[in-house]
Chains A and B, each alone.
Chain A
Amino acid sequence: MKIEVQNYKDTRSGFGDGLLEAGKRNPKVVGLTADLTGSLKMGDFAKAFPERFFQVGIAEANMVGIAAGLAIGGYIPFTGTFANFSSARIYDQIRMVVAYSNKNVKIAASHAGVTLGEDGATHQTLEDVGMMKMLPNMTVLVPCDYNQTKAATIAAAEHDGPVYLRFGRPKVANFTPADEPFIIGKAQMIQEGTDVSIFACGHLVWKAIEALPILKEMGINAELINIHTIKPLDVEAVLKSVAKTGCVVTAEEHMRNGGLGDSIAQVLALNNPRPLEMVAVNDVFGQSGTPDELLKHYHLDTPDIVEAVKKVIKRKM
């Protein structure tokens, strides 16, 4: 893939623009929010389709129930609130009326991870991917930039079944091609290589891209694959890459327990055990700070990926 930064945009705007586009394409797409229309960038959709937009107030449990009801009635509801309130807060509701009941509800989860920034740990969910991937029937998407989040939103609307769509708050490099379709469950090759497989998702894909020239200078030819679909995981792409490189680094803005690295570890252990290093948060809560400060503090930054690669290659020898 040719990597070219087109601009710097927030992934949540990718969701907002994707929702508007999905709404134009399909009159069955409806939106719901729990008092976070602006934060989720759902304003354009609400303005374009006022009769298909439901302001539920600060009542996330009620929102997901209403969404399930709308899905029963043949609609494709997108619920919009912060990731923590889209997951932990209403886990049982999602479990029973969305996942178990297999309703066509799309849970749009914004402000995920530590890059939410100054609001601190109460809002910085680092556990949501783990919770969501454990639910049967649930598809879990973690796109990496504006373009991909927009495409993922459109793909989620076209997919029949529950989807958890995770994205974030800060403006980040927008580098994937605007016209690239999002294929659920198909990993995206960013750069082919032979020495190490880096599997990244969300904001950390860009951090991994920034690591590539540094690694090259060290003589390390790294393969970078964007695992934008945590579930169903593209096991074939993972195993194919590992067969070639023989070692793995995972990178994600999530707790090590339950995250992408945890999914990859399972695939490796069951199929082809190889050295693995995980760039992730290790069993601690976040805190206030700027997104960049927090990425550094929790060792989720480019130098941390470089270090993990060096370490895992040493373990391979």
Chain B
Amino acid sequence: MTINELKDVASQVRRDIIRMVHGCQSGHPGGSLGATDIVTALYFDQMQIDPKNFKMDGAGEDMFFLSNGHISPMIYSILARRGYFPVSELATFRRLGTRLQGHPTPVEGLPGIRVASGSLGQGLSVAIGVAQAKKLNNDNHLVFCLMGDGEQEEGQIWEAVMYAPAKNVDNLVAIVDYNKKQIDGPTDDVMNLGDLRAKYESFGWKVYECNGNDMQQVVDTLNITRKNAHKGQAQVILAHTEMGMGVDFMMGTHKWHGTPPNDEQATNALSQLKETLGDY
């Protein structure tokens, strides 16, 4: 896809996010909006996938894992828009009986979701296990894992961060959604992450940084990581993002981490986001 086409998809995904959290008056719009560009690039440009024939084991495909499961509206919209399940199902988000649970789960059989996430800090370990399975299967496709930056405060993250370079997990690309905000406020105030780049580098990772809301930079950086895969090094992208990206009043604050917009705010937000693929 061209960069402009990817941007159009991202705009529709952002509309979906606003409409989903507004529709059920719950969910996490801020982080969802911030991470939209990265995951849109993965699903619509980077990953070799077969959405119409979803296979749990992902054999012969690239695979994506969302560790910070609370930004579920983003992944649901992207999976639906990519053809994993009907776009109309987005209207069921967080409602009784839905496959689109508040946090993603494979239990209801939603195509595209392979493991539950939401209890933070666990996705990278799972992604490593999947990457190890790919090696055993001589499947040279890649595993991508998106984590939150606040999530880096979980101890299990660092167990996994220590493991990947030690065991040469070089078919994995980790991405940190580095928006510098979490529920209680700026990450610097809640628990200063310090020099995250230096931390990953000291554990033996190849570290890249990009503006995670600049589609060209995102695509360029992902291209580099794909080229450098299978070269004996675990790779991580620190993707600098803006929570709430695309909706002016949701940016520059942590207030929209887990708060839905009211009717007026939703109308305002949607007026800022171009409808490109048709609303569900």
Contact = CB atoms under 8 A, between A and B. Distances in A.
Q: Which of B105, B116, B129, B134 has the most CB of A within 10 A?
A: B129
A59 interface: yes
Interface on chain B toward A: helix, strand, loop, or mixed SS?
helix
B272 to A, nearest CB: 35
Interface string B106-130: 1100000011111101111111111
A135 to B, nearest CB: 13
Q: Which of B127, B132, B134, B162 has the most CB of A within 10 A?
A: B132
Interface on chain A toward B: helix, strand, loop, or mixed SS?
helix
B155 interface: yes
Interface stretch (A91-99, A168-176, A188-196): A91-99
Contacts of B57: 72-74
Contacts of B134: 73
A15 interface: no
B117 to A, nearest CB: 7
A282 interface: no
A103 B124 CA distance: 16
B159 A101 contact: no
A72 B56 contact: yes
A237 interface: no
A18 B133 CA distance: 22
B133 A74 contact: yes
A52 B218 CA distance: 35
Chain B contact patch, size range: 35 or more
Contacts of A69: 115, 125-133
B119 A96 contact: yes
B137 interface: yes
A102 B115 CA distance: 9
B115 A68 contact: yes
A73 B58 contact: yes
A305 to B, nearest CB: 41
A51 interface: yes
Nearest to B167: A54
Nearest to B157: A62
Given A66-B125, A101-B116, A102-B106, A59 B162 contact: yes
Contact of A61 (B59, B136, B155): B155
Contact of B159 (A52, A54, A62, A74): A62
Contact of B137 (A61, A64, A65, A73): A73
A63 B124 CA distance: 11
Contacts of A67: 129
A80 B114 CA distance: 24
A197 B261 CA distance: 62
Given A66-B126, A66-B128, A72 B116 contact: no
B119 A92 contact: yes
A100 interface: yes
Contacts of A56: 163
A57 B119 CA distance: 23
Contacts of A51: 136
A100 B156 CA distance: 19
B79 to A, nearest CB: 16
A103 B130 contact: no
Contact of A72 (B117, B122, B126, B136): B126
10 contacts: A57-B163, A62-B160, A65-B125, A65-B156, A67-B129, A69-B115, A70-B133, A72-B57, A96-B118, A100-B107
